[in-house]
Amino acid sequence: MKQNDRMTSGKLYHYPHLDLTKTNQNREKMWQFNHSNHNGDMQLLEGTMKKGNNVMIIPPLYFDHGFNIEIGDNFFANTNLTILDGAKVHFGNNVFIGPNCAFYTASHPIDATIRNMNLEYALPITVGNDVWFGGNVCVLPGVTIGSNVVIGTGSVVVKDIPNDCVAAGNPCKVIRKITKEDSDHWQKMAQEYFADEDK
């Protein structure tokens, strides 16, 4: 089995033996993107990742390969987004990401002898729809985050997070469910905003 196939299937692989042809092409586009204007020219990332409509990323951005990243519609990521995409990283629709967030699929063996052979592995990360990550959140390999979720600032997400909740901490844990009262409160705030908005 080729090293690239081992990497994307969760098996141990040897990074120096990967075919990095596409990776290096994507990293060149990433460099161009990071040195564009302040808001970033998303066209410069064309072909590096699969992305939907209305995607905005504030530079700088760092990814390992790019081709293992899937982004849905209405995606916003603030500055210093890091995605180590040895395995698939999937973001649903309406995902907001604060500054300095990181998504790590790559990891290393606990056994030092094997680790020192430069063998590593990668496990996929999946994020549902309508998810907001506060700043400085770190999501670790193999984690699935449900839909309609808020992840609090500074959280380290080491286990799956279910739908419809606020979660925070290190390690990240569910704090509470998102309720109808939450929705009613913010609907009221939005109504007041639109009623008072300068026409």
Enter the tokens of residue 17.
């033996």
H helices of 112-156, in order, are 112-115
Q: What is the dihedral sign for C-alpha 165, 101, 60, 20? A: negative
Catalytic residue check, 35: no
Question: Distance (Å, rounded) from C-alpha 30 to C-alpha 62?
Answer: 7
Helix (H, G, I), strand (E, B) or coil at 75: strand
The position carrying tokens 């094997």 is 114
| Cis ω before 109 (30° cut-off from 0) | no
φ and ψ at 62, to 5 degrees? -130, 130
Q: What residue type is assigned to position 164 of the chain?
A: D
Q: Going by C-beta distance under 8 Å and a sequence separation of 6 or more, which residues neighbour residue 52?
A: 71, 72, 73, 74, 75, 93
Enter the tokens of residue 115.
């680790």
Q: Which of 17, 38, 65, 108 is catalytic?
A: 108
φ and ψ at 57, to 5 degrees? -130, 125
Residues known to be catalytic: 108
